[in-house]
Chains A and B, each alone.
Chain A
């Protein structure tokens, strides 16, 4: 717990220095995308790792956030410090509505229904031309942070997304290590025990689900401003696949796992870009290898190693006792 917190604090502090040490715009862009994905993966992790159900519809909240920020910016000219938090709140409201329906379901039913919600939102974004501008999307999303102060360089965007990541990690950390987070783990591990100690499975799942939606909405809002364009493809499955890979690779149910997954996948995707057609194939193979050999992700692997290390001395002690 404290170890995890200290690692996270050290990472954040280190990351804050990055834009002062690196001036290469391409590397800064990669770092921004890595942090954006880190927020997304952390938010999905709250659902997969702490509700214990696999959501395939998490893009619903990314897209809702992105469209909210884009509309507030293009229609009302609002600056980022207003649009991004509102994007999170609107997504949280969507999360509450969608969760009220889907969290009554479990297993494959939950997967299918969450997926269909994302798909419904994509179709709406594609066809409600009066508001969303249909397939053309919303272009020219403003890049001003406060009033007229515009963010002009990548270093500025990096610091903003770093701030969002810090908020996301703080909220996740507080949730995971609170009584509510323990209740969520109890529901995930054993629904019956959870109920018998007074945990309401539905209410607890809802908290994690809405928090996940809120964080995904923040990420979506940031994305709209950074790319300066939002189209229906924010709801597409490609984002979902990337998020899932990050969470699985890093290790679900841990805080650092999705972070590590986001960084590795972002960098890996860029390296494999040179391979052109083979890129996705190679990527698929790497992912398969990870799922086969590291079923609990990288953090799970590390935790397992530590557990084995810790178990060894007690085994030896036990042997000595019997002698």
Chain B
């Protein structure tokens, strides 16, 4: 990591703070993500992980602090504008377009690559047709990568919980992000499914995406995929380090399990 300190990080959050009325959900939280990294963001329930996600992606306007992505200040930008810069997220509560098929979901995810003028919408030329063909091919390829090929034409509401999680990642990947942020992607997966899922995630970085930020409660998964882990507790950063360091961190264990009786 030391070699990269002089370079600009892909994402940098400085002293992010979010207050809802009198409640401070996140306080002075700073962290960064380097290109090529998989960063795990963990912490007990209510620690402020999802709030962080929402601040980074523009769904919440932070009460204080700045977010920089690829060197640009993206604080207070609209969610779709941030997505267009290459920062794409998934949601904790599985969010897909339930009435569309798996393929249609992933095809819709290609929105940014196929944006076109209004005139081209009504009178499509060769360029539009080519973009459409490419989007369809890419969508099929992504569905395949995520192991959903057999469910290609199934409506999303018929998928199992595990398949829905995969589909959600597939939709996010379709947007060709530079930094992908996944909010509890393995929730509801059994340990076998989570293992497969982790393996898929590891192959993505460097190939489809530049970096990955993952919020996850499944410790086996987080520890096995992450290069670096950031721990949040009560809205503040409690610890940061390699998975092995975090596992041995006394404070982290206390945050999760409580203090041992003296």
Residue of B79, B83, B104, B132 ringed by the most chain A CB atoms within 10 A? B79
Expressed in whole angstroms, the Cα–Cα distance for A183 and B109 within the complex equals 9
Establish whether residues B121 and A175, one from each chain, have CB atoms under 8 Å apart when the complex forms.
yes
Interface size bucket, A side? Answer: 20 to 34
Q: Mark B105-126, 1 if CB is under 8 A from A, else 0.
A: 0011111101110100111100
Expressed in whole angstroms, the Cα–Cα distance for A192 and B168 within the complex equals 12
Stretch at the interface among B91-99, B189-197, B210-218: B91-99
Residue numbers in B under 8 Å from A175 (CB-CB): 121-122
Residue numbers in A under 8 Å from B100 (CB-CB): 185, 189
User: Is A196 an interface residue, CB under 8 A from the partner?
Assistant: yes
Q: Mark B154-197, 1 if CB is under 8 A from A, else 0.
A: 01000000000000000110110000000000000000000000
Q: Mark A155-173, 1 if CB is under 8 A from B, else 0.
A: 0000000000000001100
Among A178, A196, A201, which residue has its beta carbon within 8 angstroms of that of B91? A196
Number of interface residues of B (CB under 8 A): 42
User: Is B11 an interface residue, CB under 8 A from the partner?
Assistant: no
Residue numbers in A under 8 Å from B135 (CB-CB): 179
Residue numbers in B under 8 Å from A313 (CB-CB): none
Establish whether residues B88 and A189, one from each chain, have CB atoms under 8 Å apart when the complex forms.
no
User: Is A199 an interface residue, CB under 8 A from the partner?
Assistant: yes
Output the least CB separation between A178 and chain B (Å): 5
Residue numbers in A under 8 Å from B130 (CB-CB): none
Among A170, A178, A198, A207, which residue has its beta carbon within 8 angstroms of that of B83? A198
User: Is B89 an interface residue, CB under 8 A from the partner?
Assistant: yes
Given A179-B111, A182-B107, A190-B96, the answer on whether A197 and B171 have CB atoms closer than 8 Å is yes
Q: Which A residues contact B (CB, under 8 angstroms)?
A: 170-171, 174-175, 178-183, 185-186, 189-190, 192-201, 207, 307
Q: Which B residues contact A (CB, under 8 angstroms)?
A: 57, 59, 78-81, 83-84, 88-91, 95-100, 104, 107-112, 114-116, 118, 121-124, 128, 131-132, 135, 155, 171-172, 174-175
List 11 interface pairs A-B (beta carbons < 8 Å), by A numbering: A178-B124, A179-B111, A182-B104, A182-B111, A183-B111, A189-B97, A193-B96, A194-B80, A195-B83, A197-B175, A200-B80
